[in-house]
Amino acid sequence: MIDSPYLVEPGSKYKLSEQSTDETGKFKNKEDAAGATKKNLERLAELQELLYAEAKHALLVVFQAMDTGGKDGSIEFVFRGCDPQGCQVTAFKTPTPLELSHDFLWRIHQATPPFGMIGIFNRSHYESVLIERVKSLVPEKTWSKRYDHINAFEKLLADERTTIVKFFLHISKDEQKRRLDARLNEPHKQWKFNPGDLAERKLWDEYMDAYEDAIRRCSTKHAPWYVVPADRKWYRNWVLSDVLVRTLEEMDMEYPKPAPGLDKIVVE
């Protein structure tokens, strides 16, 4: 668990409404942060190669956000320098009939990363205490038990050498409106516009309550939540890269020892 102003301390009475969505930390503007972000991305690529080479640990990165919150953009930007062979991205859509015939974690466990890999979840097992709660897709007696199941599942992964980092990309309702308007009004973005997002927007307060409960109840030492101010994309990217680099560095990885006798080999 990496110390950060955006870490949700386990057991705290966390309030999403008290968290800024547009702060910029120590940076004055995008240009001021550019160098630090670039350095982080370069270091992240080095650490991903080390993770892949050592193959003793896995890293699971969870992204959750409201619509337009920036999950796709974050994944594209932050991991752009990493070797695609060492990363796998899973986007969790509406469950299929097969998935619905199993427990809610069945499809999730199949997508967790093997040793040496970074697994990236675009949405995740938390949908089962978010949309399924807000839209009443399952009864409260069902979803209310799932926080404990999620914590136990994440503890299992952590005990088996998967490091877990969870990010909630926190945007304001006003910023969501700006992004939806951009999708609606700019021809090259219209393909992203989903009229169904407007119905979800009407449930903003209900989603904030659901996110707050999930973040409070499931931020643990072995699987912490970070609530990232995401109105400013450039600052969001710096925060993400900073936490990921420090998380990987804390894993204290080493390259495998070379095969014996390499000093005597001559390539002709």
pLDDT digit string (tens) for the chain, length 268 residues: 899 999 999 999 999 999 999 999 999 999 999 999 999 999 999 999 999 999 999 999 999 999 999 999 999 999 999 999 999 999 999 999 999 999 999 999 999 999 999 999 999 999 999 999 999 999 999 999 999 999 999 999 999 999 999 999 999 999 999 999 999 988 888 998 888 889 999 999 999 999 999 999 999 999 999 999 999 999 999 999 999 999 999 999 999 999 899 889 999 8
Rg (CA), the chain: 20
- Please give the domain boundaries of the chain with CATH numbers for all domains: 16-254 (3.40.50.300)
Residues 12, 14, 20, 24: what is their CA dihedral angle, to the nearest 10 degrees? 30
Q: Are 105 and 151 in contact (CB under 8 A)?
A: no
pLDDT of residue 76: 97
Entry pTM: 0.96
Angle formed by the axes of helices 71-78 and 233-250, to 10°? 60
Residue 143 pLDDT: 97
Residue closest to 42 by CA, chosen among 256, 248, 254, 261: 248
CB 170 within 8 A of CB 243: no
Residue-level pLDDT at 147: 98
Collapsing DSSP states into helix, strand and coil, what is residue 136? coil
The pLDDT score that the predictor gives to residue 1 is 86
